[in-house]
Amino acid sequence: MTPENEAAARYFSAITAALSGLEVFMRDDRSPLYRHGIVAKIVAEYIARLDKSFACWRNRLGFMDTFRISRAESGFPVFQNLLELENDRRQADARLANIPLAGELREEMADFILRHKEFPEALQKSMAERLYLEDVKSENTFGPFTLAQTAKVSVNPKTARPYYLVHWATFDGSANLPLVYMVTVEDSSEAMISQLVDSNGKLNEKVDIPLPVDGLLNPELAHRFDDFTEKNSAYTLSPATIAVNLDKDFEPLHPKQLRRVVLGPFYSAGITDNNSTVTEVLAKVRKPENAWLLTWTIQEVYSKAEKPGRKGLFSSEKTTQEFFVNTDDLEAARQGVSSYENHALIPHEAYQALYAAGEAQKIFAGYKVHILSNGQVISDV
SS3 321: strand
Q: Is the peptide bond before 288 cis (omega within 30 degrees of 0)?
A: no
| 296 CA to centre of own chain | 10
Burial class (CB in 10 A: 0-12, 13-18, 19+), 231: exposed
**Measured distance CA(145)–CA(227) in Å, rounded:** 11
Do 364 and 267 form a contact (C-beta atoms < 8 A)? no
Q: Is the peptide bond before 212 cis (omega within 30 degrees of 0)?
A: yes
User: For residue 21, which amino acid is it?
Assistant: G
Instruction: Give the mean pLDDT of the chain.
Output: 90
Q: Is the peptide bond before 265 cis (omega within 30 degrees of 0)?
A: yes
Q: Please provide the distance, in angstroms rounded to a whole number, between the alpha carbons at the two ends of the chain.
A: 39
Tens digit of each residue's pLDDT (9 = 90 or more) over 157-202: 999 999 999 999 999 999 999 999 999 999 999 999 999 999 999 9
- Assess whether pLDDT exceeds 60 at residue 312: no
- Assess whether pLDDT exceeds 50 at residue 1: no
Taking alpha carbons only, the member of 281, 255, 267 closest to residue 349 is 281
* Average confidence (pLDDT) over 77-104: 93
Instruction: Say if pTM beats, i.e. exceeds, 0.85.
Output: yes
Give just the sign of the alpha carbon dihedral 11, 172, 72, 5. Answer: positive
Tens digit of each residue's pLDDT (9 = 90 or more) over 260-307: 999 999 999 888 887 788 888 888 888 888 999 999 999 999 999 999
- Assess whether pLDDT exceeds 50 at residue 144: yes
**Measured distance CA(363)–CA(348) in Å, rounded:** 15
**Measured distance CA(155)–CA(133) in Å, rounded:** 44
- For the ranges 14-28, 229-243, 320-334, the lowest mean pLDDT is seen at 14-28
> Where would I find the H helices in 2-158?
3-27, 38-60, 79-96, 102-116, 121-136
The angle, 0 to 180 degrees and rounded to 10, between the axes of the packed helices 222-231 and 239-249 is: 150
Residues 6+ apart with CB under 8 A from 45: none
Do 86 and 57 form a contact (C-beta atoms < 8 A)? no
Strand bridging mode 367-373 / 339-347:
parallel
DSSP H/E element including 163? strand 161-172
Taking alpha carbons only, the member of 11, 47, 54 closest to residue 343 is 47
* Average confidence (pLDDT) over 356-366: 90
